[in-house]
Structure 1
Amino acid sequence: MTAIITPATTRALFAIGTEAAAKRVVDLLNESFDDGQAAIAAFERPDGRWDISVHFAEPPVEDAIRELVALASDEEVARSIVFDTVEAKDWVAESLEGLAPVRAGRFIVHGQHDRDKVPPNKLGIEIEAALAFGTGHHGTTRGCLLFLDYVLRSKSPKRVLDLGSGTGVLAIAAAKALKRRVLATDIDPVCAVVARENARLNGVGNLVESVCATGFASPAFGEKAPFDLVLANILANPLRQMATQMAAHLAPSAHIILSGLLPHQAMSVIAAYRARNITLLRHQQIEGWSSLLMQRAG
């Protein structure tokens, strides 16, 4: 494997109280830097607070960053910012070090280095951790795979959608198990390319149709619907917002597997879908994340 060495970067780390506050800070920081100058990420913690990290291409003026954050939040948050240096390293090697194969029912997600460890009675899904989010090692992905295995014990859905496909793990798993075509969509064009390439590497390039699509208004959904099975490993807010459109694209008795939820978010997502005649069958938590198996009324 070719080494990919990233240069050392300066990083700013801080926490903030609410999603709205995190969004204000992220929006202001995004507006303040040109493309390539800074990479900004925000993640919700189990306690409801948000962690924000900013990686800078060049060392920033720390006081200026604190002033920006204070404008969007307050002086206390600005003073709490910690700046450090992320040393240059081979992130591909770092990500694979100690990354054991993950078992989820009949599926085993593994990297190239563990290809020979897949038993003949299991379905191996080869994904390199460096490509994009969704290696199978995240609790949300594993939860989806376990529910997929559960559904396929008694059902053989004909029309399958992997919504928010990332690296394509779920689409590849469904295609391998069913030996049928699966639609994989993501709003990120890079993810769509990665999923397409991963499907090819896993021998199901002819079965996984990977496209970049934003929302159910895309023609890709109308052409393939109604779906008998939808896998959506996204986040709570978009899952709630798309409940009505999701329901409109489901076949009677269709199953949907939803993940990317923190435990305290699960009930609001369940309620949004129950209002569309989609009921909860199973709910599981893995590594602090909730996954839901639901079914539309027949």
Structure 2
Amino acid sequence: MSSWKLTLPCTRAEAEAIDANDEAVFEIDPSPVLLTSEVIADDPLAWQLEAYFESKPNSAALASVQALVPSSAGVKAVAEKIRDADWVTLSQAGIEPVHAGRFYVHTDTNKGKVPAGAKAFRIDAGLAFGTGTHETTSGCLLALDRLKAEGKRFENVVDIGTGTGLLAFAALHLWPRAYATASDIDARAVDVTAENAEINGIRLGGQQGELALAAAAGVEHPLLIGRAPYDLVIANILAGPLVELAPSIGAVLAEGGTLILAGLLKGQVNTVAQAYRRQGLRLVDRADRGDWPTLTLAKRVRYGTERVTRLSRGKGEAPGFGSW
């Protein structure tokens, strides 16, 4: 099979922005698989972007990829034809497995030796963000691992902006009897999550130990609202959407519930944290991986007539939105 490869210079900041901004990638047609890597170790200005296409890209597709890395504006974007090549294998060749806490994340081509006691997930590089290689995703894995080590128990979990489904899979591994939901604004990411669920033996459905899926902007979906309130919410997206979604995320988080936020930069922590303080949440932990912090927050418990409650449910019945 023939494929096409476009290589462009970029900076580390541009490479990290690509990982965090999957919407721009989803709009490119034909869809590329993107790989960023260092050209010179520890030089933030010497990185490169490689884009792999399964079919020949037109000039519009090349221009769209180049727009992701503005520093390459002076370079002519030309796709190189690669003969008899496995384009997925090529695109994943430079990706190393990630060992974060008790989790080990690998692709189809780089499994290597799974560390003793680690839970392995296969998440192939592709259109959806969240293979575990980016600091935001691995930071969330470590936050989940820490919560488990602290003895926390969760019964109703939602992963907003799931990308590949990895964080939802990890939560279900830690709390296998929980109800779990994963959503993404892009329907293709939901399809990717379903495919990855099958690969990793995750059952889809609405019962305990199963994962329910929805394509939704934030929490604006009947499934997400109907299964609220959640005692654990994970949102690994961008700082802007995190601030915008603070009221709705705060509303679906149960009193005393835990919220994990990622996708923001160090300079954006105060803005994001303040947005959630207004919703009655407090910051209980912060862990930085490079320039990318992961925040863990808790929602205060209200007492008296203002306290929000939910209706009881029968045995085996999925969580309901109750009196929200």
- TM-score, structure 2 normalization: 0.69
CA separation of 1:135/1:157 partners in 2, compared to 1, >3 Å: closer, same or farther? same
How far did 1:233 drift? Answer: 0.5
When residues 279 and 9 of structure 1 are mapped into structure 2, their CA distance, relative to the original with a 3 A threshold, is: same
For residues 36-88 of structure 1, give each alpha carbon's deviation from its aligned partner in whole angstroms, at most 9, with x where no partner exists.
4899x9xxxxx9xxxxx99994347xxxx9xxx9xxxxxxx999643232323
- Which residue does the alignment assign to 1:133? 129
* Residue identity in the other structure for 1:103: H
Q: Would the aligned equivalents of 2:10 and 2:71 in 1 still touch at CA under 8 Å?
A: no
Residue in 1 that maps onto 2:79:
86
Which of 83, 93, 98 is equivalent to 1:97? 93
1:151 aligned to 2:154?
Answer: no
1:6 is displaced (CA, Å) by 3.1
2:120 to 121, 124, 129: 124
Query: Is contact 1:196–1:209 with CA below 8 Å preserved after alignment?
Result: no
Supply the AA of the counterpart residue of 2:171. Answer: A
User: How far, CA to CA, are the matches of 1:167 and 1:97 in structure 2?
Assistant: 19
Equivalent residue, structure 2, for 1:288: 291
Q: Is 1:222 the equivalent of 2:219?
A: no
Following TM superposition, by how much is the alpha carbon of 1:254 offset from its aligned partner in structure 2, in angstroms? 0.6
Cα distance in 2, alignment partners of residues 101 and 37 from structure 1: 27
Evaluate the alpha carbon distance shift between residue 37 and residue 149 of structure 1 in structure 2; reply closer, same or farther with a 3 A threshold. closer
Shift of the alpha carbon at 1:217? Answer: 2.4
Sequence identity (%): 35
Aligned to 2:262: 259
Match of 2:41 in 1: none
1:181 and 2:159 aligned? no
For residue 132 of structure 1, report the CA deviation from its aligned partner. 2.4
The partner residue of 2:160 within 158, 163, 173 is 163
Structure 1 counterpart of 2:193, from 189, 195, 215 = 195
- CA drift of 1:223 comes to 1.2
The range that moved more, 242-251 or 172-181, is 172-181
1:58 aligns with 2:58: yes
Give how far 1:114 is off. 4.6
Quick one: which of 4, 8, 18 aligns to 1:7?
4
Q: Which has the higher strand share?
A: 1
Superposed CA RMSD in Å reads 3.6
The equivalent of 2:300 in structure 1 is 297
Change (3 A) 1:111 1:295: same
1:44 corresponding residue in structure 2? none
The gaps in structure 2 that reach 5 residues or longer are 15-23, 35-43, 45-49, 205-209, 302-324
- Residues in 2 aligned to 1:228 and 1:78: alpha-carbon distance in whole angstroms: 43
* Contact 1:91 1:130 survives alignment (8 Å): no
The superposition leaves residues 218-240 of structure 1 with CA deviations (integer Å, 9 ceiling, x where unpaired) of 10111110000011000000000
Distance 1:10 1:178, change over 3 A: closer
